[in-house]
Amino acid sequence: MELLFGRKHHWWPKGLSKGWCDATGKISSIRCDGKPTKPRSPKAIGYIVDGHNLLRGEPWNWSFEPIYQYADDQFPALLQWASALPHATRISAIGLSGEMRTTLARCIASLVARSPSTRNVAKLGVEYYQQQLGFSKPHADNNLIAANIRGLYASYADTLERWGKFAFLFAESGEFAFGDGFLHDFSHIPMHQSNMRCLLPLSPSVAVLWVKQAQYRVKPVAMTMVLTDAEVEFFNTTIQVYSKDRIYYRSIAPKIDACFVECDHKVWGNAEGDHHHPIVDNIIAEVLRF
């Protein structure tokens, strides 16, 4: 596998971020200090240089960037399919073929596995163990972070493909923002998790919720749900809670929440960060009851 140094490894794939482009082909963003930045093209944002390379010295240098290629290639078709889903009522069941579920699982897994918020969890974990081992200045560089996230994609994709329910959330009058973090509780440690959730935007008009409980109705596997303006606003607040550096939008700038200006990846929930919030829990309960 060829290792190309200095390449932009996109955690926000261009095939996905293009959905946030305005009429000029650029994407607007706001920094965590509340200041807007110059609109940029999809190729110029949402990446980490050498983020998916393991640089151990020749001949052991290696890149796992190619494992995301299938997902990156499928994003345009997935977005076209999701955007065309019927959503005339608050909630309604839809069909989900095995092929589309595989595509959906791999695309979502790729976003979770390479998200900056996931990298941050890996960084904190490495530095914690360094501290326990007596390191005077714990520091997890890109190489150590890459080593800790390289196996996540396959595990996450398998979980998403085998279990849980999907709800495609539609913003009728508002827009979903994107960021360098979003709500999910996938573990870095390979293990069976009974209660899991993931909430992420696919475009300014469509987001996806995946939920897996210890007990749930298997059918319908997928559904659409139309969100209220208040729920869309809350969704964008959630993106700000989980993001650290920037949030992105197409034409409607989200209201800046106090949590975002702290410039750190945070989570909803209790002191342990269980990712629970009454609004999220209510939407999940509605999905599971349907």
pLDDT of residue 45: 97
Q: Could you check whether the bond before residue 220 is cis, i.e. omega within 30 degrees of 0?
A: yes
* Under 8 Å between Cβ of 65 and 4: no
Q: At residue 192, does pLDDT exceed 70?
A: no
In this structure, the number of other CB atoms found within 10 A of the CB of residue 5 comes to 10
Kindly tell me if the per-residue pLDDT of 3 is higher than 70: no
Detail the DSSP E strand segments found in the chain: 8-10, 27-31, 36-40, 47-49, 53-54, 62-63, 91-94, 165-171, 178-179, 183-184, 196-201, 206-212, 222-227, 246-249
The average pLDDT across 63-76 equals 95
pLDDT tens-digit profile of 130-155?
A: 999 999 889 988 889 999 999 999 99
Residue of 230, 246, 225 lying closest to 174 (CA atoms): 230
Tokens of 112: 């979770």
pLDDT at 74: 97
- State yes or no: pLDDT of 60 exceeds 80: no
- For the entire predicted model, the pTM comes to 0.94
Asked whether residue 1 carries a pLDDT value surpassing 60, the answer given is no
Phi/psi region, residue 189 (left: phi>0; alpha: psi -120 to 50; beta: rest), is beta
Q: Give Cα 156 to chain centroid, integer Å.
A: 12
User: How many beta carbons lie within 10 A of that of residue 109, not counting itself?
Assistant: 24
Question: What would the two tokens of residue 249 be?
Answer: 């939008």
Mean pLDDT estimate for the chain: 92
